[in-house]
Structure 1
Amino acid sequence: MNDELYNKGMQTRRSVLGDAHVDKAEANKTDFDKDFQEYITNNAWGAVWSRPGLTKRERSLITIALLAALGHDEELAMHIRATKNTGATQDDVKEVLLHTAVYAGVPVANGAIKIAKKIFAEEKDQ
């Protein structure tokens, strides 16, 4: 394992998803998925999310569009929640999902909008 890449990935992962989310994921890690967790920490968070070419806000919005387009609702919800850490606003998410409707389809965007509305309403109530 590349400790430097892993540490950079973990730092970025925590800054985007929050300590509570990452701590829970780490606590639930087993021998079965520890290699996968290391892989995503190294590659997604260390090698890609930590690159200087895009801001966390920009990466967040791209990720939301892709997850919505692919119908990955659980991951989409996680990344919509993470916008409070990335600098992406509700208006940013709204615009990305409207844009997603044009290129990935109205049903996909409709489902993603329902998820976003629920999350933003929950956050407002907290």
Structure 2
Amino acid sequence: MPSAPERSDRWIAGDATRRAVLGDGHVDAAAARTDAFDAGFQAFITEGAWGSVWSRPGLTRRERSLITIALLAALGHDEEVAMHVRATRNTGASAADVAEALMHVAVYAGVPAANRAFKIARQAYAEAEAQHEQDGGSDGREG
């Protein structure tokens, strides 16, 4: 990650958006794993994906979330599908919304891709529910 003086406005916006969507825990863990080998890549993700695309006006985070899940599912990026399904708790996309997006995947990218993504989403929601119950029903947010 770039040091504070090297952080561009796009990096700052991207980091804020990434944290709002994926959560501080995810972003902090990614930052802790960053080393000289992938520091440039992490900066690129923060500035490019989060600071340029996710921070743009025009679509809501919910809409971007659904588009992202559908694209990742179509491309077979299973870990990223799970991560973005978990992030729907922060984007406002419901499980029903995700299921509808995955129906589009079935038509436009193939039934096997959608079938796999439904399985991944189902597991991500089950894990989130188990965590919610383990936390005593708290969603972990203040307020």
Q: Could you say which TM-score interval applies, normalised by the shorter chain? A: over 0.9
The answer to whether residue 109 in structure 2 is matched with residue 110 in structure 1 is no
Larger RCO of the pair (alpha carbons < 8 Å, separation 6+): 1
Superposed CA RMSD in Å reads 0.9
Unaligned runs of 5+ in 1: none
Q: Normalization by structure 2: what TM-score? A: 0.86
Moved >2 Å (runs of 4+): none
- For residue 8 of structure 1, what is the amino acid of its counterpart? A
> Helix, strand or coil: the match of 1:82?
helix
- Structure 1 residue 106: Cα displacement: 0.4
Number of corresponding residues: 126
Higher helix share: 1
Unaligned runs of 5+ in 2: 1-5, 132-143
User: 1:76 matched to which residue of 2?
Assistant: 81
**Percent sequence identity over aligned pairs:** 63
- Structure 1 residue 3: Cα displacement: 1.5
Q: Normalization by structure 1: what TM-score? A: 0.97
Give the alignment partner of residue 70 of structure 2, picking from 65, 68, 77.
65
User: 2:10 matched to which residue of 1?
Assistant: 5
User: 2:28 matched to which residue of 1?
Assistant: 23
